[in-house]
Amino acid sequence: MLSGIASTFANCFKIPELKSRIFFTLFVLAVCRLIALIPIPGLDGAKLSEFLSQSAQQSDGGAGLLGMYSLFTGGALERCAIGSLGIMPYISATIIIQLMTAVLPGLSKLAREEGGRAKIIQYGRYLTVLLCLGQGFVMALGWENPEKILPSFSGELVLSDSTWWYRIQTVLILTTGTLLLMWLGEQITERGIGNGISLVITIGILARLPEAARSLYYMFSPAGGVESEYHFFHGIALILILAAVVAGVIAVTQAQRKIPVQYAQRAVGRKVYSGGSSFMPLRVNYAGVMPIIFAQAILMFPNQLFLNLGEVTGTKFFLEISRLISYGSLGRMMLEGLMILFFSYFWVATQFNEIQIADDLKKYGGYIPGVRPGQATSDFLHRTMSRITFAGAIFLTLIAIMPPVLQESLGVPFDVATFFGGTSLLITVGVMLDTMRQMESHLLTRHYDGFMKKGRIRGRF
């Protein structure tokens, strides 16, 4: 099996067009990493990076908040780099536009018109600029007063004397960095191997692998003459858990319910189209990683908000709420599970239009065997999608709570536990599978070695 995979990747470099696309993608991803490493002028990123490295074991407070957000920026936030906002403002703008398209009739009509999709993409870019300006200003204020987010942090990050010049400069640089990442992602989609924006996020997540490997090494090796409490069997157990989680993610990501569809014979003008049978694939994890992103984005801020309110007012009630919803607590896990369940159904309700699917089937002479066309087909698709969505939501909940469970129960460091589940694993596995499909499509259409051992058509390549 491994030799077949190796030969398949070797065949990728035998196709000139695919080889150029791969090298172009690698070059652009290298530029994206530079954006995450170059610091913003006037900020002491080394001090913040050192503090967050020492606080990686903490499970509450602002360090956990910054660590979670920094995961999607590839470490740019903790270095105060020009790519500290990452690509997330563009992702947020795209999600907002998608939800508004499903809700507002005007945008929904525009999406179905010729050239309407390009117009909606342009709206998403304008919204990205607005989100970058707002989030960039908030981030500049956070770096200006780091003790409000990180109570245990001492010192100053801002080295500039002019406060407003620092704010304007930082907001413009952060906005430019995000727009540059957005443009680079689009270049990968057009001129590279595809999935540009997703690859930009994935390379930021994978960039933390060396740090995670180092933390994992310190878990099982004596540090500073202190004997480690972990043994060889603990390492084997972690590897088995990781393999099981990755296998489960791959299985559920590709799992689908195939609904049989039969097409009747029909005549269009003088042409008669014969009937046939096909199937409609309904993905088990239709919502993908979006419910986890929504749930974690909402739960990031209440903990710190109630903690600050309790410290300022001296009210134990706010402090108790902050403790109940802190990272790794049972209350937070239950609340996150309920929110993932809600957002899974919410995303499916906004993106899966069973009424339009039933109308299209009826229009083209298709029907589901045993189900009447029209409203009955719509009800059948709604019931079927509701059931498989529940299974997908349970799977997402288990994946989302895996990192805090490992961190709290087994003492696994935060940067190691994030690769055992959550958004990082789902995004990485999903993007890798899509990228392999893209490369496989190039191989199947331009080169058959590694996929078809016999019957190769010679003299055409």
d(CA 4, CA 373): 45
Q: In the prediction, which pLDDT does 364 show?
A: 78
Q: Quick one: three-class SS letters along the chain? A: CHHHHHHHHHHHCCCHHHHHHHHHHHHHHHHHHHHCCCECCCECHHHHHHHHHHCCCCCCHHHHHHHHHHHHCCCCHHHCECCCCCCHHHHHHHHHHHHHHHHCHHHHHHHHCCCHHHHHHHHHHHHHHHHHHHHHHHHHHHHHCHHHCCCCCCCCCECCCCHHHHHHHHHHHHHHHHHHHHHHHHHHHHHCCCCHHHHHHHHHHHCCHHHHHHHHHHHCCCECCECCCCCHHHHHHHHHHHHHHHHHHHHHHHCEEEEEEEECCEEECCEEECCEEEEEEEECCCCCCHHHHHHHHHHHHHHHHHHHHHHHHCCHHHHHHHHHCCCCCHHHHHHHHHHHHHHHHHHHHHHCCHHHHHHHHHHCCEECCCCCCCHHHHHHHHHHHHHHHHHHHHHHHHHHHHHHHHHHHCCCCHHHHHHHCHHHHHHHHHHHHHHHHHHHHHHHHHCCCCCCCCCCCCCCC
Q: In the prediction, which pLDDT does 456 show?
A: 42
Alpha-carbon Rg for the chain in angstroms: 25
d(CA 429, CA 422): 11
Q: CB of 260 within 8 A of CB of 277?
A: yes
**Mean pLDDT computed over 55-65:** 50
Which of 246-255, 264-273, 298-307 is the most confident on average?
A: 246-255
Q: CB of 378 within 8 A of CB of 397?
A: no
d(CA 84, CA 137): 12
Q: CB of 176 within 8 A of CB of 412?
A: no
Q: Which backbone phi and psi does 418 adopt, to 5 degrees?
A: -65, -20
- Give the confidence band of 449 by pLDDT, cuts at 50, 70, 90: very low
Q: Identify the bridge partners of residue 277 per DSSP, sorted by sequence position.
A: 262
Closest CA to 52 of 68, 72, 69, 67: 67
Cα→Cα distances 257→5, 46, 125, 281, 323, Å: 28, 50, 35, 6, 41
Tokens of 371: 């189900």
Q: CB of 84 within 8 A of CB of 43?
A: no
d(CA 336, CA 344): 12
Q: In residues, how long is the chain?
A: 461
Q: In the prediction, which pLDDT does 273 show?
A: 60
Q: CB of 258 within 8 A of CB of 242?
A: no
CB-based contacts of 192: which residues, under 8 Å, 6+ apart? 21, 22, 24, 25, 28, 199
* pLDDT over 90, % of the chain: 12
Closest CA to 319 of 66, 63, 60, 57: 60
Tokens of 459: 């003299």
pLDDT digits (tens, 9 = 90+) for 357-403: 888 888 877 888 888 888 898 999 999 999 999 998 998 888 888 88
Residue 386: other Cβ atoms inside 10 A: 12
- Give the confidence band of 68 by pLDDT, cuts at 50, 70, 90: low
The alpha carbon of residue 95 and the mean position of all alpha carbons in its chain are separated, in whole angstroms, by 12
pTM reported for the whole predicted model: 0.78
Q: In the prediction, which pLDDT does 99 show?
A: 79
Which of 5-9, 71-75, 379-383, 422-426 is the most confident on average?
A: 379-383
pLDDT at 274 over 70: no
* Strand order across the 276-283 sheet: 276-283, 256-263, 366-367
Domain 1-207 listed as CATH 1.10.3370.10? yes
393 compared with 78, residue with greater pLDDT = 393
Q: Give domain limits for the chain.
A: 1-207
Q: In the prediction, which pLDDT does 169 show?
A: 92
pLDDT at 67 over 70: no
Q: Identify the bridge partners of residue 158 per DSSP, sorted by sequence position.
A: 43
Which of 14-23, 130-139, 199-208 is the most confident on average?
A: 130-139
d(CA 356, CA 393): 24
